[in-house]
Amino acid sequence: MARTALRPTIVLPFLIVGFLTFFLVRALFEASTQPTPDVVVRDRFDRNVAEGWGAASFGGPFVLSGTKSDYTVTAGAGVMAVPGAGVARRALVRDALVRDADLSFRIGLESAPTGGGSFVYGVLRQNAGVGEYRAKIRFAPTGAVYIGMTAIEGERERPLGEESRVPELSYSFGSMVNVRCRIEGTKPATIRLKVWSTDQPEPVGWNLRTQDSGIGLDQPGSLGIQVYASRTTSAFPVRFLFDDLEARSLPDPAAGAGSPAAGEHPSTSRP
């Protein structure tokens, strides 16, 4: 039986469709792996570093406090190990200078908190010698999670309101929770914070919202994270695990005055 050759007019359209599909899929893949223009820091910790954290996947190198061996990157997590009571460790991305920012990450503990608990902070508008804002999360030995905010002015830490418990959230070591904090505006600056379980969708509202007009804290600054072991902590080292760190630059809220901030729900945000 004789074979019938396919006509060029039949084959050509299929070839064109194939090429177009290939390039479209490739373009979509490349677009999905590139940070959007407002992303200033992004890190999935998908590397191995024996001492230190190296550089974020996007945004620049981390500037660390304390001993370099207290920091490692392994198994998809950035680890900070606090060696003693009343000791803090922090990682900042100094190349990312932002005034209005949205900072998010996942955090977990390798062991149960002891004493007064284990603290994690989202650091915003950090300027050396001037100060910074901190969104605070405290993991208590009972499994309760507490949040608050503070302003650092020089060497002085000033609480911005009372610490409060996150409702309907109980933490167990070995798991992780999501943290998201945001700062916008000046005189006053508005700071928001929410914490939720990784097996739940992100809540629409914020757990905490406050305003402040700290001296010198209305300028662009560095972003980062900090950890601290309470003075009554009894088991060491306290190892904190971080993943999915991301910071975005926000537009000036004055440009959209009168409209609610994205993600805010008045019924669940504290005044």
Structure confidence at residue 32 (pLDDT) = 45
Confidence (pTM): 0.82
Domains observed in the chain = 35-252+262-268 (2.60.120.200)
Q: Are 130 and 218 in contact (CB under 8 A)?
A: no
Number of Cβ within 10 Å of residue 53's Cβ equals 23
Which pLDDT does position 18 carry in this prediction? 53
109-166 pLDDT, tens digit each? 999 999 999 999 999 999 999 999 999 999 999 999 999 999 999 989 999 999 999 9
Instruction: Write down the pLDDT at residue 31.
Output: 42
AA identity, residue 110:
E
Strands (E), the chain: 39-43, 63-64, 71-74, 77-82, 88-98, 101-109, 118-127, 131-139, 144-153, 156-159, 164-170, 176-184, 189-197, 208-212, 221-229, 238-249
Give the whole-angstrom CA distance, residue 200 versus residue 156: 37
pLDDT at 127: 96
Positions of the chain with pLDDT lower than 50, given as ranges: 15, 23-25, 27-33, 257-271
pLDDT in tens, 19-32: 555 544 454 444 44
